[in-house]
Amino acid sequence: MTKTFEIAVFEGDGIGPEITDPTAKILDRLARNSNSYSLIFTDAPAGAAHYAKTGESLPDASMDIARRADAILLSAMGLPDVRYKDGTEISPQIDLRKALTLFAGVRPVTVRAGQRTPLHMPDGKEIDFVLIRESTEGLFHTQGRGEVSQDEARETLLITRDISEKLFKFAFDLAKNRKQAGRGPGRVTCVDKANVFRAFAFFREIFDAEAAKHPDVTADHAYVDATALWMVQKPWDFDVMVTENMFGDILSDLGAGLMGGLGLAPSADIGLENAVFQPCHGSAPDIAGQGSANPFAMILSGAMMLDWLGLRHEVHAMQQDGARLRAAVDRVVADGAVLTRDLGGSASTTEAADAVARELGQR
Ligand code: ATP
């Protein structure tokens, strides 16, 4: 029986439409070749350019599409010279995260043989870990509402039991699924600063309580400063890491750095009911309209979407297609003949996406 999934597509600003189009085409062709699932793509207008045109950055109609869709595919939103009247940036992706309670920011970090990385990789080593950044509270709790007087500035860090329990359950389930898929030993590391802050001792206590429910997964702890060091010295040792919002914000850019830049860094923001899949990079207005943007991070985000939908709805063929799509990108990157400028090549967005499609045997 074929299961049909609706995908809300936020093509966004800057390079957004340029990388969304080939990604949706590749996903559409994968689905058309499958008897197990089909995809319906619904455009959801939003973003800075939309705000400039209409005065709305995330219209209710687009929010409705996002809420009812089975998954949300989003490129990047925001433009430097389009701002709200109070001067703040237009970032509907953050509004979506809050409105849909997408607490788990999932940032996979992979470096395969042949991939550019600033690290010296010992022979035979590859990097394959996932950083989970809590994305609704932590030090971002008072974002935009911090108290600033002449002599003092304050922001509040919030850790709640409710969100932490959901976050840690998600982390342990992910480690289990990765182990089953042969992608890790089944280990979750809680990254915190429990030696200094009571809030992080609380965070760790909730982690330990969840760990006790998963005897088949190894659980350990690491301080955030040591984690930054180890991510450079021995990143191949990590499997799943879970941390607070601000720590995760910083460590995920370090992770993107290990991968040789943002061009290969996908992400997902996942809640209990909804999930957004989007590249880690922004709308890159400096190269928009040139047809030179790297589509790989967006395509890899699409692969994560197939994984998530497949697992959630028990459509194994979607997980297989997700893995095939990732492997196709890995092969194109390792081969090195068709790479965009940011990865040291000269291919256009279309040529790079076509190379992935060819690897998949499409067209
Ligand atoms: P944001 O705050 O939304 O993350 P930003 O301006 O900090 O935005 P990006 O928009 O990601 O960051 O751009 C940072 C740099 O990386 C720019 O020089 C941009 O051209 C480059 N860049 C980002 N994404 C891509 C991509 N997909 N392909 C090629 N270059 C990219």
The alpha carbon of 283 and the centre of ligand 1 are apart by a number of angstroms equal to: 6
Per-residue model confidence (pLDDT) at position 123: 87
- The residue whose CA is least distant from atom 19 of ligand 1 is 284
Sheet holding 104-111, edge to edge: 37-43, 3-10, 71-74, 275-279, 266-270, 104-111, 127-134, 240-243, 187-192, 218-223
The alpha carbon of 192 and the centre of ligand 1 are apart by a number of angstroms equal to: 29
Ligand 1 close to Cβ of residue 342 (< 6 A): yes
108-146+154-264: same fold as 1-100+273-363? yes
- Which three-class secondary structure state does DSSP give residue 347? strand
| pLDDT tens digits for range 300-321 | 999 999 999 999 999 999 999 9
The alpha carbon of 288 and the centre of ligand 1 are apart by a number of angstroms equal to: 10
pTM: 0.94
The alpha carbon of 189 and the centre of ligand 1 are apart by a number of angstroms equal to: 29
The alpha carbon of 44 and the centre of ligand 1 are apart by a number of angstroms equal to: 22
Per-residue model confidence (pLDDT) at position 114: 75
| pLDDT tens digits for range 72-107 | 999 999 999 999 988 888 989 988 998 999 999 999
Can you give the residue ranges of every domain in the chain? 1-100+273-363, 108-146+154-264
Residue to probe by mutation, ligand 1, list 77, 278, 281, most atoms within 8 Å of CB = 281
Ligand 1 close to Cβ of residue 262 (< 6 A): yes
Ligand 1 close to Cβ of residue 282 (< 6 A): yes
Q: Which parts of the chain sit beneath pLDDT 70?
A: 363
User: Is the CB of residue 123 less than 8 Å from the CB of residue 234?
Assistant: no
Ligand 1 close to Cβ of residue 294 (< 6 A): yes
* Record: fold of 1-100+273-363: Isopropylmalate Dehydrogenase (3.40.718)
Per-residue model confidence (pLDDT) at position 99: 94
Ligand 1 close to Cβ of residue 60 (< 6 A): no
The alpha carbon of 134 and the centre of ligand 1 are apart by a number of angstroms equal to: 23
Q: Which residues lie closer than 8 Å to 337 by C-beta, 6 or more apart?
A: 345, 355
- In CATH, what is the architecture of 108-146+154-264? 3-Layer(aba) Sandwich (3.40)
The alpha carbon of 272 and the centre of ligand 1 are apart by a number of angstroms equal to: 29
Ligand 1 close to Cβ of residue 159 (< 6 A): no
Residue type at 39? L
Per-residue model confidence (pLDDT) at position 56: 96
CA-to-CA distance for 355 and 341, rounded, in angstroms? 15
